[in-house]
Structure 1
Amino acid sequence: MIKTLHFDFGEIRVFKNFVVVIMKEGITVKPEDNQHLVNISKEYFSERCFGYITYRINSYAVNPMVYIETSKIENLVAFAVVSAEGLKVSNLQLEKRFITIPFEHFSDLDNAKNWVNGLVSKRDS
């Protein structure tokens, strides 16, 4: 891990090829929160591709418009959701409609990291 960044909505852990985001319990992620990800993409990944992993260990809401803004980050090549199997598939299907980059669900953080690393490697080669 390169660095852990703390925000009002949660924390973002920066790794070589991706970020792992853990949101705080009960918050609502809004499109304007996406500016932090834009800034991180420029500071830590300015010359290369990266992936986003949301590690959903807490319960929170996401305004679907966030995904439209997230999709605009040019060097973001993968979006992974890690959560317990109990997460409603319908929620994931709704979220997928708003994002234009590869989007997958995982029940294990290591599997998500491997998937993201694979996509980043393909894009960087």
Structure 2
Amino acid sequence: MSAIVYYNLTYVEVFVFEKYVIAQVKKGALLQPGNNAELKELIEKHYLNKNFVYISNRAFDYNVSPVTYLETSKITNLLGMCIVTETVAGKRSANFERKFYSKDFLVVDNLPEAIHWAVDLVDRAGS
């Protein structure tokens, strides 16, 4: 197993694994298209020519601009996105956001389920 790489950015904590990245946006933050540039740098650094999955661990309340997903969908080696949330409101928001994302998208209750789905998706893609 590869080492875990951790980043503590102003609005998000990022945990980079071999086949997936887990992002935990900080309480009260606004995730918007402008944030994509910083995350894109990390993705290019760790997943250049490698498929991966983005897992959003929604431990805190924050807002997401749905337009963010339109840009995120353009990342060619990003196979899918998984939202981890236990609340009914969180699931409702995630299912609304799904409409703006054109790749595989899953909403689950817990991180182990998200990780299993992510690894399976990358393995099925062959990289």
- TM-score bracket, normalised by the shorter chain, equals over 0.9
State the shift of 1:73 in Å: 0.5
For each residue in 1:7-30, what CA deviation from the matched residue of structure 2 results, as whole angstroms up to 9, or x when unmatched?
Answer: 110210000101000111011111
Q: Provide the residue aligned with 1:11 in structure 2.
A: 13
State the shift of 1:35 in Å: 1.2
**d(CA) in 1 for partners of 2:90 and 2:125?**
31
From the superposition, tell whether residues 43 and 93 of structure 1 become closer, same or farther in structure 2 (CA, over 3 Å).
same
TM-score, reference length from structure 2? 0.92
Q: Percent identity?
A: 28
Q: Provide the residue aligned with 1:22 in structure 2.
A: 24
Q: Provide the residue aligned with 2:52 in structure 1.
A: 50
- Segments of 5+ residues of structure 2 without an aligned counterpart are none
From the superposition, tell whether residues 124 and 115 of structure 1 become closer, same or farther in structure 2 (CA, over 3 Å).
same
After superposition, the CA RMSD in angstroms is: 1.3
State the shift of 1:91 in Å: 1.6
1:77 alignment partner AA = L
Q: Is the 8 A contact 1:41 1:75 kept in 2?
A: no
Q: Provide the residue aligned with 1:107 in structure 2.
A: 109
1:82 alignment partner AA = V
TM-score, reference length from structure 1? 0.94
Q: Is the 8 A contact 1:29 1:62 kept in 2?
A: yes
Say how many residue pairs are matched.
Answer: 125
- Segments of 5+ residues of structure 1 without an aligned counterpart are none
Q: Provide the residue aligned with 1:62 in structure 2.
A: 64
Q: SS at the partner of 2:7?
A: strand
1:53 alignment partner AA = I
**d(CA) in 1 for partners of 2:54 and 2:20?**
6
State the shift of 1:89 in Å: 4.1
